[in-house]
């Protein structure tokens, strides 16, 4: 086996600019609406939650945006991340396909999330923000923002979904080690949390509820606190494009160009991060790379959601955006262990999917863990359950290439490692994890509560 497996760049190759899809969107943007008035939001409304630089990035139509020196300095801690060819996995599958993966798990917290957390902390610091509030599910995003807050000297207040807070202490301890304050959500620190606890003191929480608490904590702080979101918004996707810009250079080093780029989707940020730079070449240079998003059967926003205006959070405090949604009150079954639980999806990604520029597939949980284990046993890295969805997608592509005798070039994003997710692996290995039916009734009930907006849908 003499094939080169690792394609490395040096510090000086870290991209100096993020790629902004707004400049090249082949479909018109949809408006962002105020959650109460349902009119298009103004920068004034958004400025309660975000610093102006991030709001400007959200609406910018510049094709590239310079990455500030201070952000590049921190990126140097772990970027450029490696790109590897999975030759052992190829061999195990007996496929003629070449499988490449970009590994974001080398960041200090083990995922792609710091790419935006560092940028958001920098712009907030520059704007004088003293405290950032945010939500986290199992803790990947929370640890990234906690790290970024410690590097830029900003306090970080994290609302962590209660059931994860209780069952997954290690990420919480990591966030606290970086200096963040972590509260189980629903908490008694917000009006919304108090109301939920009054109705049910054992409310296990959800991502949508934690977002509502973090938004309320910032919005009611009299300007002292701002809110930070780890996915979905345009500026988050923008910051993640360092992944794809590096991957373009690394595929060049490998002397190949991908036929298909694959990634998992929760809110869409790591997918957009790797895929949008390749989409630019599709749109501008006539390349024909397929872009494939992989989601869990348990929360299949793209493949089963309706494309409609919906709230970003459960308490209807976050802006309303047009997206593929399962309904803002949707919560996947507790038995689902693979993450990627958000009810909606990044608006730009939804618009691209709706217009046919992006493909999507939903995969069941057992097949996802089976792919993760096969990857660990051949390539050595134990993937985050979220990232395992991308591996499932990549293996299925490689097996399809084998069936058709194609020499397909596959690139996928390995968004993080799963060293804090061993309980999920234990459940899988001991046979406790199960597949379950698509929760059609739950989705139907959640979708009955979509806002009735006046903008043409
Ligand atoms: C390791 C990892 N990958 C992927 C995701 C999905 O998020 P996104 O779609 O924003 O990349 C998460 C989110 O929690 C994550 O922790």
Cβ of 270 less than 6 Å from ligand 1: yes
Cβ of 339 less than 6 Å from ligand 1: yes
Cβ of 413 less than 6 Å from ligand 1: no
Cβ of 229 less than 6 Å from ligand 1: no
Mutational test site, ligand 1, from 107, 109, 136, 140, max ligand atoms within 8 Å of CB: 140
Q: What are 348-368's pLDDT values in tens digits?
A: 999 999 999 999 999 999 999
pLDDT at 168: 86
Position in ligand 1 atom list of the atom nearest CA 384: 1
pLDDT at 19: 98
Burial of 441 (0-12, 13-18, 19+ CB in 10 A): exposed
Q: Which two tokens stand for residue 287?
A: 């390349």
Cβ of 268 less than 6 Å from ligand 1: yes
Cβ of 416 less than 6 Å from ligand 1: yes
| Whether 154 contacts 127, CB under 8 Å | no
Confidence class for position 441, pLDDT limits 50, 70, 90? confident
Mutational test site, ligand 1, from 161, 240, 416, max ligand atoms within 8 Å of CB: 416
Question: Which stretch of DSSP H or E encloses residue 375?
Answer: helix 365-379
Q: What are 301-353's pLDDT values in tens digits?
A: 999 999 999 999 888 988 999 999 999 988 877 767 778 888 899 999 999 99
CA 340 / ligand 1 centre spacing (Å): 7
Position in ligand 1 atom list of the atom nearest CA 236: 10
Rounded to whole angstroms, how far apart are CA atoms 101 and 106? 13
Cβ of 387 less than 6 Å from ligand 1: yes
Q: Which two tokens stand for residue 140?
A: 């990947």
Cβ of 266 less than 6 Å from ligand 1: yes
Rounded to whole angstroms, how far apart are CA atoms 66 and 72? 10
| Whether 327 contacts 10, CB under 8 Å | no
- The arithmetic mean of pLDDT across residues 69-81, rounded, is 98
Full-prediction pTM beyond 0.85? Answer: yes
Give the DSSP letter of residue 293.
Answer: E
Mutational test site, ligand 1, from 111, 230, 263, max ligand atoms within 8 Å of CB: 111
Cβ of 384 less than 6 Å from ligand 1: yes
Secondary structure class of 411 (helix, strand, coil): strand
pLDDT at 286: 97
- The arithmetic mean of pLDDT across residues 225-243, rounded, is 97
Question: Looking at ligand 1, which residue's alpha carbon is closest to its atom 16?
Answer: 140
CA 304 / ligand 1 centre spacing (Å): 19
Beta partners for residue 83, in sequence order: 7, 102
Position in ligand 1 atom list of the atom nearest CA 340: 6
pLDDT at 2: 60
Question: Looking at ligand 1, which residue's alpha carbon is closest to its atom 4?
Answer: 386
CA 340 to each of CA 42, 131, 391: distance values in angstroms, whole numbers, following the listed order: 30, 27, 14
């Amino acid at each position: 086996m003499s094939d080169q497996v690792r394609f490395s760049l040096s510090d000086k190759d870290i991209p100096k600019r993020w790629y902004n899809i707004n400049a090249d969107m082949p479909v018109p943007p949809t408006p962002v609406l105020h959650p109460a008035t349902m009119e298009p939001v103004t920068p004034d409304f958004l400025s309660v939650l975000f610093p102006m630089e991030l709001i400007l990035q959200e609406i910018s139509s510049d094709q590239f945006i310079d990455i500030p020196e201070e952000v590049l300095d921190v990126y140097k801690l772990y970027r450029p991340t490696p790109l590897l060819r999975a030759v052992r996995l190829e061999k195990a599958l007996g496929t003629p396909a070449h499988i490449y993966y970009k590994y974001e798990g080398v960041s200090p917290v083990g995922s792609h999330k710091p790419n935006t957390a560092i940028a958001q902390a920098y712009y907030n610091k520059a704007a004088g923000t003293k405290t950032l509030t945010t939500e986290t599910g199992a803790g990947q995003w929370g640890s990234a923002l906690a790290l970024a807050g410690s590097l830029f000297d900003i306090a970080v207040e994290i609302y962590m979904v209660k059931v994860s807070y209780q069952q997954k202490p290690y990420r919480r301890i990591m966030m606290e080690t970086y200096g963040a304050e972590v509260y189980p959500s629903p908490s008694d620190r917000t009006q919304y949390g108090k109301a939920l606890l009054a109705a049910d003191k054992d409310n296990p929480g959800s991502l949508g509820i934690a977002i509502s608490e973090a938004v309320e904590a910032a919005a009611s702080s009299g300007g002292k606190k701002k809110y930070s979101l780890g996915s979905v918004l345009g500026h988050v996707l923008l910051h993640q494009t360092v992944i794809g810009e590096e991957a373009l250079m690394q595929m060049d080093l490998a002397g190949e160009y991908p036929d298909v780029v694959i990634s998992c989707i929760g809110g869409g940020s790591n997918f957009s991060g790797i895929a949008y730079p390749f989409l630019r070449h599709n749109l501008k240079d006539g390349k024909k790379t397929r872009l494939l998003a992989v989601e869990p059967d348990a929360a299949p926003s793209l493949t089963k959601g309706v494309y409609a205006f919906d709230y970003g959070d459960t308490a209807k405090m976050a802006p309303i955006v047009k997206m593929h949604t399962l309904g803002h009150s949707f919560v996947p079954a507790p038995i689902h262990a693979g993450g990627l639980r958000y009810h909606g999806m990044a608006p730009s990604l939804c618009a691209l999917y709706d217009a046919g520029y992006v493909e999507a597939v939903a995969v069941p949980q057992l097949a996802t863990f089976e792919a993760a284990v096969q990857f660990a046993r051949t390539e050595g890295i134990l993937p985050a359950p979220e990232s395992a969805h991308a591996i499932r997608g990549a293996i299925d592509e490689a097996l399809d290439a084998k069936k058709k005798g194609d020499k397909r070039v596959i690139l996928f994003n390995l968004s993080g490692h799963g060293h804090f997710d061993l309980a999920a692996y234990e459940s899988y290995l001991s046979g406790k994890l199960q597949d379950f039916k698509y929760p059609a009734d739950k989705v139907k009930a959640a979708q009955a509560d979509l806002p009735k907006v006046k903008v043409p849908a």
